[in-house]
Amino acid sequence: MSADKQMKGYRVMKNNRKLKNKIFLILTDAVFVLTAGILAYVLTMKETGGFGWKPLSMWLVADLAAAVLLFMVFGMYDIVFSSVGIIDALKLCIPVLCLCALNAALALFTHGKYIRVDTAFLFSAFLFYFAGMVRFSKRILIVLRYFLSGGKNKKKRVMIVGGGSAGLVLIKEMLTSDKIAYKPVCIADDDPTKLGNYISGVKVAGSTYDVKQLAEKYRVEEIFVTMPAASKKIQSAVIDRCKDCKCPVKVLPGVYQIADGQVTVSKLRKVEIQDLLGREQVKVNLDEIMGYIENKVVLVTGGGGSIGSELCRQIAMHNPRLLIILDIYENNAYDIEQELRRRYPSMHLLALIASVRDMGKMRDVFSKYRPQIVFHAAAHKHVPLMETSPNEAVKNNVFGTVNVARCADEFGVETFVQISTDKAVNPTNIMGATKRICEMIIQTIGRHSKNTKFVAVRFGNVLGSNGSVIPLFRKQISEGGPVTVTHKDIIRYFMTIPEAVSLVLQAGAYAKGGQIFVLDMGEPVRIYDLAYNLIKLSGLEPGVDIDIVCTGLRPGEKLYEERLMKEEGLQKTPNGLINIARPLEFDEETFWQTLDLLYDEAYSETDRMKEYVRKLVPTYTIEKRDLGLKAFMRESSAAIGAEALNPEPVPAEN
C-alpha cells in the first residue's frame, strides 16, 4: 500500500473515531438534560399547581435542542478527555449560563407557566455538574485509582522545586495521567506564604535551601526544577543546592513554554552545564544580522561540523538567497542539509562535498556560485590529534585558509569571516599556532583587498561541540566511570554553540576589514568542578559511585587559555560581548616567504616543519614531549599486550 493510501486510511479512521465520540457525548448530554430538567422541575414545581407532564415535556424538548446547539457552538464536543482542565471547565460555564439566562427569561415572560426562575438556576447547576463529570471522568478515574492504591504503583518519588504555575501543571499531569511513572511527594518553594500549604494535594514542605533534608525525609528518587521564569543566576544557585541530594535532577527549559501551553513532564530535561554557568543567554541584534545576510549568497566551509552546522541553522533563519554547505565529510553535510530542507522547504540550499585544500575546486565553487559572504569554519581542531599529525594541521588549517581567502578576494566576496580560537594566543600546540597563522593570513590579504572585508572571530570552548568534554563526561558516567580529567586545576572558557554562532554572525555585521573580534566568554570554569557537578547532578557520588581520575596534561595543552595577547589591547563594539583586538604588526614579505617554505616542509612530511611555524608565530612554544618513534613503539607494544615501559595513561578530552 502506498504512503498516500495509508495516510488517507488513517484520516478516515481518525474522522470516524471523532464522529463516534461526538455522537456519544451528544447522547450523554441529552440524558443529562432530561435528568437535570426532571430533578429541577420536581424539586421546585411540585409545590405549585404548575406541575404536570405536558409543560415539563415541552420545556425539556426545547431545552434539549438549545443545550446541544450551545454545546456545539462553544466546542464542548471537541474536547480530548485525557487533557481536560480548568480552561475546559470555564468554557463549559458559558453555554450553561446562556441556557440559564434563556430559561430565566422564559420563566419571567410566561409568569411561571412552564418553569420558575429557581427551576432555571437549579437545572443549570445540575447540568453543569453532570456534563462536567462525563468530560472529567477519565482524569477523575485516574486520580481515584491513584489514591485508592495509596500511590503504590511503582512510580518514582519526585520533589518539585518551584511551586509556581509550571510546577502546578506538572503536578496535575502526574496525578491525572496513568502513563507517567512519577509521583510528586513534596514541594520546595522560597515563598513563605506557601510554606506548609498544599498544592493539588502535595505539601510545600520547605524552601529551596532545604532540598537535601527534604530529599532524605520524603525518600525522593528524582528532582524536578520547575522555575522557568526565574533568572539564570537564581536557577543556577537552586540547581547547585540540588546536587547534594544524591538523585538525578531535571529542569524545565524555558518560560516561553508556559505561554505556549507546553509545560509537560516530557519537556523536562537533564541538567546541562550551561544551567550552572549562572548567566543569561547572550543576546544579539537580529536586525544587524538580517541586514547583511538577507538575500545574499552565503558559503559556509566546514558546514557539517558543530560550529558550521549551527552557522547554517542561524543563517537559514535570515533569508539568504542561497546557502552553500561545503564539507569534506559527506555524512555531516547530508545531515544538516536534510534538517534544513525539512525546516525551510522553500529555501535555496546546496550541499557540496569538497576539500578546502583543493585550490582548483575552490576556484570552481567561487566562480560558479559567486558567494557574497563566506564563513570559514573548516579546520582540524582536535589538539592531541594534531600534535601527533602536525603536518595535517598545517595543510588543512593554514593552506586551506589561504585557498579560500584568495578565492574570496579574487571573486569579490563582500565579507569573509574566519573562525578562530583562544588557543591562537601564545599557542603551545600546533593547532593553536596554525589558527594564529590563519589570523595573520586574513589580515594580510585583507589589507590589500579592494572589495572584501576580512575578519577573524576568536572564542573559547563551546558546550556540546565535537570533542567537547560534556558528551565525553556523560558517556563515562553512563559507563560507570571513571571520569578522566587531565589536570585538577585546568580551566576553560565556555559558551553554548548557538551563543557563539550568534555572536559570530553579529561580528560579521561589524566587519570593516582586518579586525580580530574577541568574544567575551564570561568567567572561566574549572574542568574538575564541571566533572564533579555532572556526577552529582546525575544522582551519584564522586569518589564513591564514580571516580574522577587526573591523567596529566596532554602534549600541547595549557592549564588555562588566553583570549588575547598583551600587545593587542581591546576596543569595544556596540555589543558589549564582542571586542576588537588590535592586530599585531609583522613584515608581510617575510611572512609570505616563510609560508612558502612551510608549504614545502609540510607536504614533504619533514620534522623541521614546526620550526617554520615558530618563525611565523614567535609566541608559539614547541612542545618538548613530541610523540617520536620510541613513544610510538611503546604504545604499539602496549596495544598488543606486551608489558610496556612506563606506559602513559589515556587522556581525557578537554
Q: pLDDT by residue (tens digit) across 438-491?
A: 999 999 998 889 889 999 888 776 665 555 677 778 788 878 888 888 888 777
Angle at which helix 609-616 crosses helix 588-603, to 10 degrees, equals: 160
Q: In the numeric block, which cell numbers belong to residue 58?
A: 415541552
Contact 355, 349 (CB under 8 A): no
Q: In the numeric block, which cell numbers belong to residue 465?
A: 561541540
pLDDT band of residue 637 (cuts 50, 70, 90) is very low
pLDDT band of residue 413 (cuts 50, 70, 90) is very high
pLDDT band of residue 535 (cuts 50, 70, 90) is confident
Nearest to 140 by CA among 129, 154, 127: 129
Q: Above 60 in pLDDT, residue 119?
A: yes
Say what the pTM is.
0.61
Q: What's the number of CA atoms in the CB half-sphere (13 Å) around residue 48?
A: 16
Q: How high does pLDDT run on average in the chain?
A: 78
Nearest to 226 by CA among 243, 249, 205: 249
What's the Cα-to-Cα distance from 516 to each of 378, 403, 407, 460, rounded to whole Å?
18, 20, 20, 14
Q: Above 60 in pLDDT, residue 501?
A: yes
Which contiguous run of DSSP H or E holds residue 349? strand 349-353
- Could you report the per-residue pLDDT of 603-622, keeping only the tens digit for each? 998 878 889 999 999 888 86
Least confident interval from 353-362, 508-517, 642-651: 642-651
Q: What pLDDT score does 394 carry?
A: 95
If one compares 272 and 382, the residue with the highest pLDDT of the two is: 382
Q: What is the DSSP string of 226-295?
A: --TTS-HHHHHHHHHHHTTSSSBEEE---THHHHTT---GGG-EE--GGGGS-SPPP---HHHHHHHHTT
Q: What pLDDT score does 257 carry?
A: 44
Q: Above 60 in pLDDT, residue 226?
A: yes
**Segment of 13-17, 346-350, 534-538 carrying the highest mean pLDDT:** 346-350
Angle at which helix 469-478 crosses helix 527-537, to 10 degrees, equals: 40
Q: Above 50 in pLDDT, residue 581?
A: yes
**Segment of 54-58, 134-138, 304-308 carrying the highest mean pLDDT:** 304-308
pLDDT band of residue 627 (cuts 50, 70, 90) is very low
Angle at which helix 232-242 crosses helix 527-537, to 10 degrees, equals: 70
The residue assigned the cell 611565523 is 616
Q: What is the mean pLDDT of residues 409-423?
A: 91
Least confident interval from 252-266, 506-520, 531-545, 626-640: 626-640
Q: What is the DSSP string of 212-233?
A: HHHHHHTT-SEEEE--TTS-HH
Q: Above 90 in pLDDT, residue 49?
A: no
Q: What pLDDT score does 120 carry?
A: 81
pLDDT band of residue 259 (cuts 50, 70, 90) is very low
The residue assigned the cell 462536567 is 132
Q: What is the mean pLDDT of residues 252-279?
A: 56
Q: How far apart are CA 127 and CA 67, in angstroms?
A: 9
The residue assigned the cell 598488543 is 640
pLDDT band of residue 592 (cuts 50, 70, 90) is very high
Q: What pLDDT score does 434 carry?
A: 94
Q: Above 70 in pLDDT, residue 286?
A: no
- Could you report the per-residue pLDDT of 173-183, keeping only the tens digit for each? 777 666 677 88
